[in-house]
A and B are shown apart, each in its own frame.
Chain A
Amino acid sequence: MPRQTSLLLSLLAATTLSASLPSVAIAQSQDVAAMSEEERRGYEIAARSDQSDNGFGGSVVEAQMILRNAAGQESVRDLSFQTLERENENVGDKSLVIFESPRDVEGTALLSHAQILEPDDQWLYLPALKRVKRISSANKSGPFVGSEFAFEDFTATELNKYTYRYVGEEEIDGMMTDVIERFPRYERSGYTRQVSYIDQEVFQLRRVDFYDRKDALLKTLTLTDYREYDGIWRSHAFSMVNHQNGKETDLVYETYDFSQELDAGDFDKGVLSRIR
């Protein structure tokens, strides 16, 4: 999944993913020379997509999450995301997610410091109690706030969290995409594999099919409304459909703001208690 998804909760869940990631050393040891032709091609296409996100710096964006059950009932959550790009390849992004609605959880916030070698660091802020609580980042496949997104779906899409296999080409919405299977290398994933579709023009992720632990099709994520910000692409509409329970979750982003000059101090644990 593209790095921007990481926004979602990169932090939230990121921890989990990167936590279990082998390590940079191992990750970097994905030895292209030792790969089969399909593996190498899949890896290179995924790598090109990953690199297209480098240099975004920091971003602030508001989003609305719309949860819909099989009967069509809806529940809406408003969120704001602040993300700071990783300083270097040895650490992950930092992010802060603040809930603006429903009103009973307004001001609740999740701060994440994604790691590569170690479990991510995550803190929850509970505004009614003014309490900052360090939480476990071990929960990868669990639902994020009752949505069809799992924590791991939000993880920063570090390239080396998966191995890859090139499958072929397919046209989506009049756009040619490369179809690549990817297999989680981290532990505790809820998926055996994912099938990703990356367009051939600007190398962005357009769709992902998720297969559960029994290798049955579980969910499909569709990413639309891509807009370019000075060379950085962001989808503004994520739609996750669960084929097994009939539920779906849409995540709709407003315009990204990359101009806020965020720095590490904006992501210190101490900032949580002044959110609300």
Chain B
Amino acid sequence: MRACLICLAAPLLLTSACASAPSLSADAPSAPAPSSRAGAARFVIVEATEPREQTLDQQVQQVLNRMAFGPRPGEVAAVRAMGVDRWIATQLAPDRIDDSIATRVVATYGMLGRPTSEFVSMYTEVQRARRQVKQAAPDSGGRASARAALAQASPRLAMDARQSQRILGDVQSARLARAVVGDRQLLEVMTDFWENHFTVYAGKGVTRLFIPSYDRDVIRPYALGHFRELLGAVAKSPAMLFYLDQFQSAADSMHPTLASSARGQQAPTAAQRRRLASLTPQQRAQLQQRLRQTQQQQARRGLNENFARELLELHTLGVDGGYTQQDVIEVARSLTGWTMNPRGDAAFVFRPALHDAGEKRVLGVTIPAGRGIEDGEQVLDLLARHPATARFIAQKLAVRLVSDAPPKALVDRATATYLATDGDIREVVRTIVTSPEFFSRAAYRAKVKSPFELVASALRAVGADADTTVRSAQLVAYLGAPIFGHQAPNGYPETGEAWMNSGAILNRINFGLGLAAGRIPGASLSHWPQAATLERASREQQVDGVVQAFLGGQASPDTRQILMSGENPLAATLQARVGADSSARSAAMTPPRDMSMTDDAMTGAQRPRQAASQRVPRSGAAGAAVARSMGRQVQLSGLAQIVGLAIGAPEFQRR
């Protein structure tokens, strides 16, 4: 834990003297509100110029499953009434859509609206107090006793500690809640897309402290904006600067820096002097030793190519984008000095002392010597306008929205739109979702849902309320894709095959059974308006209702038959084949510990994150409790059973 603090603070401490003092007020979220940007959006209804292969019913399903996270009760009728083309136009201009429901829901997640500076100071205070408590009480080995000791030492810090555990959980929950109850669905889909494209891992060091702002100020405002603006916001975000080590990249000793003042020779600030004075001689010696070590590491550290490489390979040109290792180095050199404020708000700063002021050559373009932050801006301009980037982004969007292998002609047109509009994401998306390829038979149900899409679509189908606990978000982790929990910088796959293996299917089936059994807060079948009527209807009517609401009105005859009755011939055959061990199943299974759901969620929210050293929080923790309660045996009958089967069915795994 202590190491984490050092690795964030120490290198920065040394470079901070030349920065202007951070102030709290400067930290208030200042990014343009989505509405002001979206206000510029054109409201354009693109009518089909050629006949679409999909039936009207299929078109309605298609837009609701690709440009939204599946239909909520009543939405199919609403889209049909509005007209598919008009609905598309509206989603592409999200500020025309009332979003008050989502706004209200999101306000319930307490950590979300807060500035990063609060999280940073909370974190550093708690870490300091923890060290002191531990030093004072040598034998407090366990986390529980450490927590108790902290609570005794300072109730306020103990509360801070609890709150800081909630940061990630609140972001994850809000992301899912917006997808489930929000009406700006395309904006939500695009936020999901870009947060995955520009992925950051919450479990790396202090990255999680920066994630609320990453979602709120960096991705969301630009999700349907111009790619260059989005790219710039990402490159300057504390989350990305920290996650891909850009904040510690400095000119190597071979190249001159812009400012001649050597790092580490600066006089300590007044605050630093005060702190030094308050230390015991032993503490001071330790601190000095640590600083010396850090200085040595700094001196050796020099250029860090990590961000530059991923910027080219994953964020812009793509792995086949025609760049060389030398380009990676030259981009990294151009970006030296792009770092973050060591304290306060951790905001982006450009430090001339770290910047490599020599001449560089990126993708054949000369970046002149002697400049500063302009070098990085010029590189981002170059990359954002590059034809390889246009194709890479167009291809990836088509994969998300159309199919795993989208037709080349469509990708060509989307690429052309990108280049013609200077990377206007909204127009690229418009080209794709109004294309005949989008409405082709081949594209219908062609995509396998990601875990996030599966959970969101199931919750939407039953008309769920937003879950105010972290539990639903933990289910996304349980299905293999914790939000902000992908370690590697490539993000989760956009293609379907990766999500389909035996363990994943099993968890999806058990998720469906758990949902049908009412184990997810805010999502029992009683939320589903049709349930009340269907409960008393015939099995056939129930199956029709479930197929309509969950499977888009389309299920294979086999599926329908299986849902209808347990006595279909195939099931009987299977029954015989499985034989004796099937009947012995329940006896063979030891029911796992029964945990009440509310308790799970509570302990989950309050359980302290494990030490940063244990690479756990791919979830925001508490995954085990979720898995246990999802693992409880389910006895389903009647309508609930049909719903459980439908969510577990192959058809529901697709969109």
Whether A and B are associated in the same complex: the answer reads no
